[in-house]
Structure 1
Amino acid sequence: MKTNKIFISAIALTFGLAALNSCSDDDSSSLPPIGGYNNANEVAATSLKAYWPLNGNGKESISNTSPSSTVATTYVAGIKGEAASFNSGYMAYPAITALNTTSGSASISCWAKVTNTKLVAGGPSNISPIFSLTRTGETFGNLNLLAETHGLTTSDSIQMKGVFRIKNTDGSEFGGDAVNMIKQESWMDNTHTWAANKIGGKWAHVVYIFDGPTGTNKLYVNGVKISNSAWEVRNGGAAKPLNHFLPTRPVIGALETVANGTNTDAWNAALKGQVDELRVYDKALTPSEIGALYELELAGR
């Protein structure tokens, strides 16, 4: 009888530990879906070409690529796990094969906490580069996501900007940008829109999309489109497939000339701020996909 009691107690203990372990796992599949997805990794999964979780290291998780150069970068609590924190710093990478080719469209998604400001009222306005797919010898790469202080001495409003410099079929450059405006300026007419995004010094989900079939580029912050509509269409509405100048390599926190040590522009500074959950897709994310990414990652999923 004593032996049976011991055996039964052992079984109960085993099941109890199994239940405890099950409850302690981060099993997002047991939670209600958001936008039809259980976690952020499911959103446009077949188009995800690069992903930096930034949980204590700078490794790109799909290709297993580590940075070739890391400057003034540490790790802090992020929006989901840890995040990279840059003190006028950056991480530069060798070329990643999956990012060299393109379907003609792309999206960059990340969380950013930007703290660059204009140091004095009469001083230069700094940019805050978040991500760049570089071009050799050129300041702006094929695709660039950045913030600008735009003359501000405080960080309560940051002007987000996406910039593209891509290759025409004849080898020449075709460029443009998507940008939001902090306020209505005197020269703006009814073709312009503006959406002041007061994200300086706090976490915000930022997405930059380049849509080749329509020749447009757009910016979203926290699931809402903020880019000025007057500058979203950059090829008269005709198709303009994304075509990279090669070689291209990713840099988090700086543009090419800062990363290679040739920069001479006062406005071109490395990032002061934090970046988390950086993803690059080989498609233009839809508004519903962007909203789902925002909600899922905000919920730690």
Structure 2
Amino acid sequence: MKTRQISAWIAAVGLLASSAVFTSCSKDDDTATLPPIGGFNSADEVAASNLVAYWGFENSNNEGKSSTAPSKATNNSFVTGVKGQALQLNAGYLVYPTIAALSSANALPSVTVSAWVNTANNGTAATSVFALTQALATQDDWNRGPINMYVETGSFKPASDTIRFHAAFHTYSGGNYSVGGDNVNGFGLEDAGKKYQVVKGAKTWVHYVMVYDGANSTIDLYANGKLVSNSDYRKRDVGGAPIGNIVLAPPTQVLIGGWPSAMTGYTKSSDQGWQALYTGSIDELRVYSKALSTADIGSLYELEKAGR
């Protein structure tokens, strides 16, 4: 009888030990024990206190921090993304009601918008990735932001693997449009050490980041962790005076995949013939209320690329 009890006790201890070993190999523990990248274990740790909006598109279109659902979604589904699932648009878009963290006058004095994009309509028309806009019934021009982040997919033939990024910021004074500025990886001399870098990335995943630094009045664009924008357009001023911090005109709305024009419900803003709705995928869309450093952008790229 004692022998049986001892044997049963040994078997139980062995089972507990096996369970402990199995538990130690869980996904969360594996991530925590992987070597840090840039001092971070996951993309969520990068500038965490300044992350004001996030879309992971894990079988949901809701903005993750506020749980805000789109007020309108057209031609959208989900596909395998860079991390888990991604948003798939087929000439579609998502428009959101006001998200509080993005809708106060001083919410985004500086801003970083980061997203993974995989565009399929290269060589047709320009398509928008992300826009922070005025209210649907207020905005009277697509190019008054305050944030526009788009892809000039009409610039190259469908067979080309080249992709051109273009982004802009705009500021308001007393609720009225004031000034803005943009940057692009194009125009003039190309390649590293000159004015800008060509991005090879049509029909494949590319990490696309725009940064506006209000303290220095500079706008930069990154692709796959590298600065690619045109140095001629980096410093933005008006009559020699720096533009400074972005001031919003609340309430604002978020538009993903579409242009703020009549085609997406912005009734005061006319449609433009060179613009189209987005076709392709978008994943891991993040908005920060600061200008991320080149090092942090590189870490974000490497972490998300690794599924972390």
TM-score, L = length of structure 1 = 0.90
Report the AA paired with residue 234 of structure 2. Answer: E
Moved segments of 4+, more than 4 Å: none
The residue that corresponds to 1:295 in the other structure is 302
The residue that corresponds to 1:206 in the other structure is 208
Change (3 A) 1:295 1:22: same
Report the AA paired with residue 266 of structure 1. Answer: G
The residue that corresponds to 2:169 in the other structure is 164
Change (3 A) 1:228 1:49: same
2:71 is the alignment partner of 1:68 = yes
Residue deviations 1:225-267, cap 9 Å, x none?
1110111111147351111122211111112213216453222
Kindly indicate whether the alpha-carbon contact (under 8 Å) linking 2:151 and 2:165 is maintained by their aligned counterparts in 1.
yes
Alpha-carbon distance in structure 1 between the residues aligned to 2:108 and 2:266: 32
Q: Flag the structure with higher strand content.
A: 2
Shift of 1:192: 6.2
Kindly indicate whether the alpha-carbon contact (under 8 Å) linking 2:236 and 2:243 is maintained by their aligned counterparts in 1.
no
Q: Which moved more, 1:83-92 or 1:128-137?
A: 128-137
Alignment of 1:1-301 (within 5 A): 1-27=3-29, 28-101=31-104, 102-119=107-124, 126-136=125-135, 137=139, 138-140=141-143, 141-154=145-158, 155-168=160-173, 171-181=176-186, 184=189, 193-235=195-237, 236=240, 238=242, 240-257=244-261, 258-260=263-265, 262=267, 263-301=270-308
Kindly indicate whether the alpha-carbon contact (under 8 Å) linking 1:167 and 1:245 is maintained by their aligned counterparts in 2.
yes
Alpha-carbon distance in structure 2 between the residues aligned to 1:157 and 1:237: 35
Alpha-carbon distance in structure 1 between the residues aligned to 2:154 and 2:278: 15
Q: Which moved more, 1:267-276 or 1:252-261?
A: 252-261
Change (3 A) 1:237 1:17: farther
Secondary structure of 1:66's counterpart equals coil
Secondary structure of 1:46's counterpart equals helix
Alpha-carbon distance in structure 1 between the residues aligned to 2:71 and 2:20: 42
Alpha-carbon distance in structure 1 between the residues aligned to 2:22 and 2:9: 20
Change (3 A) 1:223 1:237: farther
Kindly indicate whether the alpha-carbon contact (under 8 Å) linking 1:132 and 1:252 is maintained by their aligned counterparts in 2.
yes
Q: Which moved more, 1:129-138 or 1:168-177?
A: 168-177
Alpha-carbon distance in structure 1 between the residues aligned to 2:181 and 2:187: 19
Report the AA paired with residue 128 of structure 1. Answer: T
Report the AA paired with residue 200 of structure 1. Answer: A
Shift of 1:103: 4.9
Kindly indicate whether the alpha-carbon contact (under 8 Å) linking 1:156 and 1:201 is maintained by their aligned counterparts in 2.
yes
- How many residue pairs align between the two structures? 290
Change (3 A) 1:53 1:8: same
Change (3 A) 1:24 1:288: same
Alpha-carbon distance in structure 2 between the residues aligned to 1:2 and 1:118: 76
Residue deviations 1:58-108, cap 9 Å, x none?
111111111111111111110111110110111111111011132510100
Secondary structure of 2:142's counterpart equals coil
Kindly indicate whether the alpha-carbon contact (under 8 Å) linking 2:212 and 2:219 is maintained by their aligned counterparts in 1.
yes
TM-score, L = length of structure 2 = 0.88
Kindly indicate whether the alpha-carbon contact (under 8 Å) linking 2:127 and 2:257 is maintained by their aligned counterparts in 1.
yes
Q: Which moved more, 1:231-240 or 1:209-218?
A: 231-240
Kindly indicate whether the alpha-carbon contact (under 8 Å) linking 2:155 and 2:164 is maintained by their aligned counterparts in 1.
no
Secondary structure of 1:76's counterpart equals strand
Shift of 1:216: 1.1
Q: Which moved more, 1:227-236 or 1:78-87?
A: 227-236
Alpha-carbon distance in structure 2 between the residues aligned to 1:167 and 1:250: 17
**Superposition CA RMSD, Å:** 2.0
Report the AA paired with residue 83 of structure 2. Answer: K
Residue deviations 1:141-168, cap 9 Å, x none?
2101110024322241111011122213
Alpha-carbon distance in structure 1 between the residues aligned to 2:153 and 2:168: 16
Change (3 A) 1:83 1:103: closer
